[in-house]
Amino acid sequence: MKRLFPYLLLLALVSEVWAEVLPPLPQTQVVKLNDHVYALLGPLELPTAENRGYMVNSAVILGEKGVILVDTGFSHEIGEHLKQAVKTITNKPVTHIINTHDHGDHVLGNNAFPGATIISSEQCKSVMEKTGYEWIGILEQTTGRTYPNTKPVVAGKGYAPGVHKQVMIDGVNLTLWVPPGSHTATDMLVYLPQDRILISGDVLENQLMPSFRDANVKNWIGTLQKIGTMQISNIIPGHGPLMQQADVKQMLNRMQTFYAGVEAGYKQGLTDGEIRKQLDLTEWKKLKYFDEFIGLDVNRTYLEVEAANF
């Protein structure tokens, strides 16, 4: 036993180290839209032990000296993973980050880019300050791990609601648009007028059930109507494959019918549970994670309708 002891100790140490070696995160699908805009598409999933919260789409815009990265993932680790994906495109460093809204899956990778200038809506800054650690808790609960390196880092510059501002960042012309709170009260969309590309955050999600957790459904419908009037050749949505105007129209129709259905039910004096049973959800059932979100989405819309009719 005495002679065996050093080996056992070594084995214990090795397995300790072993436990910390994690399998790689799911691959990022890099899609080139033109010579200076790329989509980094993440898995169309909810957070799991396997994906460790990697589920978001990001966008890469090449500037003169650096890279503008839109959305940074759910953790420091995912931010690093995205940094590697950027390296497959360019040697330029990430100098600017734009956050499309406060939800953890989009912003908690910010601290993997120390020194980068972070831009978001004003509301995104203030909400992230309050709920950043709550989102880390959600990540830890859903993936069964801790994330000691992940810390919420908020934007230095925030833009007020209603802003539709042309800015020049590192030689790139961008329109920053802060619509009336839609998917969340913290939304910011990024439009590249020369390229006719929209980076929408979760105001647009493709093939995925949207969450109305923090939404204003009526405003959201208005924002989708506005998007419908824009010159757009490609959309990088918050989740799922690239979208076109035809997909926006589908999402708009789905949301309008849904809101109208909930409102009609409310006016008949039905509860949200009863309304859910009489809604035509055929189009919604085609979306991934329908069962996980439908109850919440009917309930949130019901509360919104109730408040509007009070």
Binding site for Zn ion (CB under 5 A): 105, 202, 238
Min dist CB 93 to Zn ion, Å, is 25
Q: Which residues contact 104 (CB under 8 A, 6 or more apart)?
A: 53, 74, 132, 135, 136, 138, 139
Give 53 or 66: the residue with its C-beta nearer to Zn ion. 53
Structure tokens at 107: 């912003």
Residue type, 150: T
Give 105 or 187: the residue with its C-beta nearer to Zn ion. 105
Q: At 115, is the secondary structure helix, strand, or coil?
A: coil
Min dist CB 5 to Zn ion, Å, is 51
Give 280 or 292: the residue with its C-beta nearer to Zn ion. 292
Give 42 or 261: the residue with its C-beta nearer to Zn ion. 42
Residue type, 119: I
Q: What is the CA radius of gyration of the chain?
A: 21
DSSP states of 297-310 as a string? HHHHHHHHHHHHH-
Min dist CB 169 to Zn ion, Å, is 23
Q: What are phi and psi of 153, to 5 degrees?
A: -125, 120
DSSP alpha helix (H) spans, the chain: 5-20, 76-87, 104-107, 122-143, 217-228, 245-267, 272-278, 282-285, 290-309
Give 100 or 111: the residue with its C-beta nearer to Zn ion. 100
Min dist CB 105 to Zn ion, Å, is 5
Min dist CB 38 to Zn ion, Å, is 19
What are residue 31's DSSP bridge partners?
39
Min dist CB 275 to Zn ion, Å, is 26
Give 70 or 279: the residue with its C-beta nearer to Zn ion. 70
